[in-house]
């Protein structure tokens, strides 16, 4: 009998790539998504169950139907700026929804849980390589909500024996090299797809938010990781739990930081087109530098990023962009 894995947010950017990786590893991914930000066309690798995480009866029904061996929890609100303006939305949409999911999983006896967390739990700690032992000090409601869910998982580990892997990752980029799935948000907020839209004339220009940060060129520095490398790590995390190795936290990144201007320069080189830009003010809640230390994932999971060099990530994203995306 083939093992099923419940993937919340499986119609979204990262979740859809994880579903493809799960299928390749011999699992059946069951996507649970309300399609508020995901795309039905992205559900290509297993069954689809439409529903909201706030609907406990619907969750119980799905757990009973598929009897998943594990949960991969990607579904979340994730806009930093929005979380600064409307924190209540993030505490309800992320924390309360996740509590509902965790309780439903425990009630169904599905005790292997992989959680999509974020480097935003660390806040603004410039000049520090961020690893699993770094102090968490989020500076926005998005990061705070993710940290709260991490704490929640630890509590349920003690009370219900919930085994969990938490992945704190950095800026996710790129797309499936075969262009079956990719990144397409409405509205789009991520740097590389915004830049490709500007290159392609789909928006007038790319706005650089802040040029006076304490970095070499004045723009924010981020660690970028390819979405397919990230998906591979989630499968390794699932196998870690199923082998009985216990709960753990892993940072996922390339270990290298690139400024916004460096990403712009590389995008121009990959596409052989100029990037039209405008300069704007800093956005509230944006840290100056976020760079990962991923040695634990490499040591314990055997994870090795294969496509997380900047040129490959941009080239894969450009291929997906030219393919047209969803709903276009």
The reply to whether omega before 30 is within 30° of 0 (cis) is no
- Structural domain contains residue 228: yes
Residue 219 has pLDDT above 90, yes or no: yes
| Rounded-to-integer distance, Cα 314 and Cα 181, Å | 15
Mean pLDDT of 313-322: 92
Band (186; pLDDT cuts 50, 70, 90): confident
CA distances from 53 to 13, 60, 253 (A): 18, 10, 28
Whether 16 and 72 map to the same domain: the answer is yes
Q: What is the pLDDT of residue 16?
A: 97
Residue 151 has pLDDT above 70, yes or no: yes
**Domain end residue (candidates: 237, 252, 267):** 252
- Structural domain contains residue 182: no
- Domain residues for 260? 191-222+255-323
Band (167; pLDDT cuts 50, 70, 90): very high
Which residue among 27, 142, 169, 224 is the active-site one? 142
Q: What is the pLDDT of residue 328?
A: 52
Q: What is the CATH number of the domain that holds 315?
A: 3.90.25.10
How many domains, the chain?
2
Whether 116 and 215 map to the same domain: the answer is no
Is-catalytic flag, 122? no
- Structural domain contains residue 209: yes
Mean pLDDT of 88-109: 96
Band (323; pLDDT cuts 50, 70, 90): confident
Q: What is the CATH number of the domain that holds 232?
A: 3.40.50.720
Whether 210 and 228 map to the same domain: the answer is no
- Structural domain contains residue 116: yes
Range with the poorest average pLDDT among 53-62, 142-151, 279-288: 279-288
Whether 94 and 8 map to the same domain: the answer is yes
Average pLDDT of the chain?
Answer: 92
Please give the angle made by the CA atoms of 66, 71 and 76, to the nearest 5 degrees: 120
Whether 14 and 124 map to the same domain: the answer is yes
- What the block records as the tokens of 325 is 């995306």
- Structural domain contains residue 186: no
Q: What is the pLDDT of residue 296?
A: 93
Whether 125 and 63 map to the same domain: the answer is yes
| Rounded-to-integer distance, Cα 109 and Cα 145, Å | 25
**Domain end residue (candidates: 235, 252, 269):** 252
Band (126; pLDDT cuts 50, 70, 90): low
| Rounded-to-integer distance, Cα 32 and Cα 153, Å | 20
Band (285; pLDDT cuts 50, 70, 90): low
Q: What is the pLDDT of residue 7?
A: 98
Mean pLDDT of 224-251: 96
Neighbours of 15 (CB within 10 A): 27
Whether 33 and 113 map to the same domain: the answer is yes
Sheet strands side by side (includes 112-118): 48-50, 28-33, 4-8, 70-73, 112-118, 163-169, 248-252
Mean pLDDT of 298-320: 94
- Say what the pTM is: 0.93
Range with the poorest average pLDDT among 19-33, 66-80, 132-146, 281-295: 281-295
β-bridge partners, 171: 224
Mean pLDDT of 133-151: 94
Whether 153 and 268 map to the same domain: the answer is no
Whether 157 and 48 map to the same domain: the answer is yes
**Domain end residue (candidates: 231, 252, 273):** 252
Whether 296 and 310 map to the same domain: the answer is yes
Whether 202 and 130 map to the same domain: the answer is no
Whether 74 and 149 map to the same domain: the answer is yes
153: left (phi over 0), alpha (psi -120 to 50) or beta: alpha
Residue 154 has pLDDT above 60, yes or no: yes
């Amino acid at each position: 009998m083939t093992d099923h894995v419940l993937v919340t947010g499986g119609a979204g950017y990262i979740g859809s790539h994880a579903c493809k990786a799960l299928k390749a590893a011999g699992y059946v991914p069951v996507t649970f998504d309300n399609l508020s930000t995901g795309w039905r066309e992205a559900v290509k690798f297993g069954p689809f169950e439409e529903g909201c995480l706030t609907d406990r009866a619907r969750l119980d029904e799905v757990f009973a139907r598929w009897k998943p061996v594990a949960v991969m929890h990607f579904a979340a609100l994730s806009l930093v700026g929005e979380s600064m303006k409307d924190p209540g939305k993030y505490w309800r949409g992320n924390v309360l929804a996740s509590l509902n999911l965790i309780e439903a999983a425990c009630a169904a006896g599905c005790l292997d849980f992989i959680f999509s967390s974020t480097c935003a739990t660390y806040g603004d700690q410039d000049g520090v390589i961020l690893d699993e032992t770094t102090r968490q000090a989020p500076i926005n409601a998005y990061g705070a909500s993710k940290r709260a869910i991490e704490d929640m998982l630890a509590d349920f580990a003690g009370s219900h024996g919930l085994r969990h892997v938490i992945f704190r990752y950095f800026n996710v980029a790129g797309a499936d090299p075969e262009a079956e799935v990719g990144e397409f948000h409405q509205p789009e907020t991520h740097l590389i797809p915004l830049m490709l839209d500007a290159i392609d004339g789909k928006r007038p220009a790319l706005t650089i938010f802040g040029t006076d940060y304490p970095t070499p060129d004045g723009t924010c520095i981020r660690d970028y990781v390819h979405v397919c490398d990230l998906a591979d790590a989630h499968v390794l995390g699932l196998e870690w739990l199923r082998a009985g190795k216990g709960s753990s936290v892993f940072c996922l990144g390339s270990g290298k930081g690139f400024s916004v201007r460096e990403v712009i320069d590389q995008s121009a080189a990959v596409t052989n087109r100029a990037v039209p830009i405008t300069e704007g003010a800093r956005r509230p809640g944006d840290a100056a530098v976020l760079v990962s230390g991923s040695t634990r994932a490499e040591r314990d999971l055997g994870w090795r990023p294969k496509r997380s060099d900047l040129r490959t990530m941009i080239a894969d994203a450009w291929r997906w962009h030219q393919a047209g995306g969803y709903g276009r």
